[in-house]
Chains A and B, each alone.
Chain A
């Protein structure tokens, strides 16, 4: 079975500071990896995904994540955060060939002025 661990339930950071949200996964088979963002009282929006190829993937709003197979990690980073980045971030994995997503417990990013 697959599992996803997001150790940080909440990450407070000041505006324009860098941030890293950690995600580790466990799987005995190859997986696809995803980061979703959820704003208050809304559904989830896909932020970025790793399916294959380059291990560094980027989103259109400045986030990036790097797939590290040896460390089974897919940490999310942004060099300079904005107030509007305040949201809940979920890491998820999916076994290749299957459709079920397994989510982590989420990390709340709190950006203050």
Chain B
């Protein structure tokens, strides 16, 4: 059973950056890409991008191309999402998810609040 454990909630000021981590276990590392999604209150999830855990290749949603960076530490099976130049509308719960085309294994979510 795959387990994805994310870092705790964050409060940031506009213009700052945030990094969310996602530690994985319970499956063969490298078998699945990791995707990051976010969900603002009352809205459907929104896809930010993906990372191949084997070679570190990434693909980002066009909307976030200039502000998002995804990285990994293979020794600890941990993935990182960094989002820069934060705005108030970046306030959301951020999720890491295993990519099997559909999304069947999710982290518990990390609330990022952007407020002055």
Q: Do A and B bind each other?
A: no
On B, residues with C-beta under 8 Å from A are none
